[in-house]
Structures are given as structure tokens and as C-alpha cells.
Amino acid sequence: MEPIRDSLKKYMGETGWEKRLNKARESLFQDERIRSWLDHHRDELADGAIEQGMAELYEYKNSTVGCHACTSLNACQNPMPGYQPELYVHLGQIHMRYQPCPSKIASEQEQKHKKLIQSMYVSEEFKKASFEQVELDDEDNTRGTAVIQAITFANEIEPKKEGKGLYLHGMFGVGKTYIAASIQNTLANRKISSLLVYAPEFFREMRQSVADGTVSEKLDAVKAVPVLILDDLGAETMSAWIRDDVLGVILQYRMTEKLPTVFTSNWDLDELEGHLAFSQKNGEERLKAKRLMERIRPMTTAVYVSGRNRRHE
């Protein structure tokens, strides 16, 4: 009787399996990600580990479908949407596991923020905001310069490495919030999580949170987000508690951790300092206002946004 190994080899040769298998192996080891991973971990692998780990290598190759060109979680083409494979070495052998991708992590963070922070901007207008739709004025170079600074920030900022944000200021209705929303959407395309909140409503929400005991939880969520966007700072009625124990705590943490913050305001920085110096109960407190401004001035680039009031058009 012919040995089973010889029969199998003969069958594979006659049916072309061996040729297809060799072609698949060749394609596998031509994959740049596979080659790079093997080169990096070769010293950690035991003898024969690559042959024994072929199934993991194949699954890794076939389970990463277009992650490099991913536009959103909804467009994920992976077999497990929202998860991407990761190769690792354990006891000298090749193993693979699935980890949440940046888009899924950002989506889960956004859902968590929505449940926790009611003052988030979630309108369809701001979800679709884009720098391509920002109106420019041929006769006003100041506005164009402001947009360029915002685009540069959105495309180049690296939280934890560079903590300097933007302070967008200008008159009512010139589009500061729309520019801020465009920053947020550009960051989302870069897989960088951000949070856009309406400052006056957020501060009211924080006061109400004292009763339900969620102050610390909300503070932690806001202060630790990679990029925080506080819209319309200065429009709120300021209190010493909001200034010192909410805004001050948030900005101190973000400055220490190099997490950039984007502000929009009708006030310039000097006018904002005057606003922060006055609280309802304590009157004027210039020193405390200056202390807070030391967490805003050095950590932002002031950008004047000019233009006509578009709200009445």
C-alpha cells in the first residue's frame, strides 16, 4: 500500500494545491506588514515558530482590510468591524489577538461623553462642518489667515507632545464655532478624539451636577480628552467656584499633560481677564483671574476671526 504521505503529495501535485499553497505563502511573505513584523520580532521567535504560526499570519493579513484608508467606523471592512488584528510573541510562538481600533475607541468615548456631558454640540450642522465650506473674504486677509492657522492646528497638532491650542476671538456671528467644529471633524479624520462643548451650558451643568454627585466624573472626562474645544467662553455668568474649581482645575491638568485646548470667545485675552476677575459673590478678584490666564495665554495662540455677522443673513 502506498504511504499516506506519498499519496497526499501526489494528490496535491495533481490538483495544483501545492502550487496554490506556494503562491499563497509567497504572497504572505511579500506583505510589507508581515515582513516588517517578522524582521522586528525574529530574535524573539523560537525555531520553527514561523511555520507553526502560519495560520495566525494568514489571519492577520486577511483580517486587516483597508485600515490604512479607513474613513469611519461605519465604513469598516474588517471581518470584525471596529477591531483590528495584532500579532504578538508569547513563549517564542506567534499569536494574534483583536484590539479595538482608534475609530471604535473614539466612537465609544463620544457615546460616553454624550451620556455624561449634555452641553456637547451634536447638531447635524456641526457634524458636517468642513474647512472647505468656511467662507473667506477676498478683501479681508485677516480672516484667511485665521482659517489657515486653524487648518494647520487641526492637521498637525499631536496631543501629549504639543499642548498649545488656539484662542479664536471675534465679534458675534463671524463663524468661530463653525471653524471650531471643522477643527473637530479634521481631528476625527486623524483618529484624534476631541470634545466640543458650549461653555455657558457646561458651567451650568457643572453647578447642577453638585446635587447628583457627578462633578468629579464630568471633570475627569473633560480635562482628559485629547483635544478640548470650549465654545463661547466669556458668555457665562462667572462664579468663583466655576473659575477656580472647574475651569482652573481643567486647564491646570491639560497644561501639565500637554493636552491642547481650543477656545472661542467674543472677548480678546485682555477682555477675558477682566471678565474672569469678577464673580457674583466675591466681586473683583484680579489675582485669581491672572492666575487662570497663566493657563490660557502661554498655552494658546490668539487668532482674531474677522468678518460680517452671518447669523442675520
pLDDT category, 177, cuts 50, 70, 90? Answer: very high
- Final residue of a structural domain among 77, 100, 123: 100
DSSP letter for 46, please. Answer: P
pLDDT at residue 96 tops 80: yes
Mean pLDDT of 209-221: 87
Highest average pLDDT, of 44-58, 107-121, 259-273, comes from 259-273
Rounded to the nearest 10 degrees, how much is the dihedral formed by the CA atoms of 146, 262, 295, 219? 170
Is there a domain that residue 23 lies in?
Answer: no
pLDDT at residue 123 tops 90: no
pLDDT at residue 261 tops 90: yes
pLDDT at residue 221 tops 80: yes
Q: What does the angle CA 169 – CA 171 – CA 174 come to, to the nearest 5 degrees?
A: 90
Same-domain check for residues 76 and 191: no
- Final residue of a structural domain among 84, 100, 116: 100
Same-domain check for residues 63 and 136: no
What is the pLDDT, as a whole number, of residue 248? Answer: 95
Check: CB of residue 99 under 8 Å from CB of residue 84: yes
Q: Give the distance, in angstroms, between the CA of residue 76 and the centroid of all CA atoms in the same chain.
A: 18
- For residue 263, the tally of other CB atoms under 10 A from its CB is 27
Mean pLDDT of 47-63: 83
* Full-model pTM: 0.66
Same-domain check for residues 181 and 48: no
pLDDT category, 117, cuts 50, 70, 90? Answer: very low
- Final residue of a structural domain among 100, 124, 142: 100
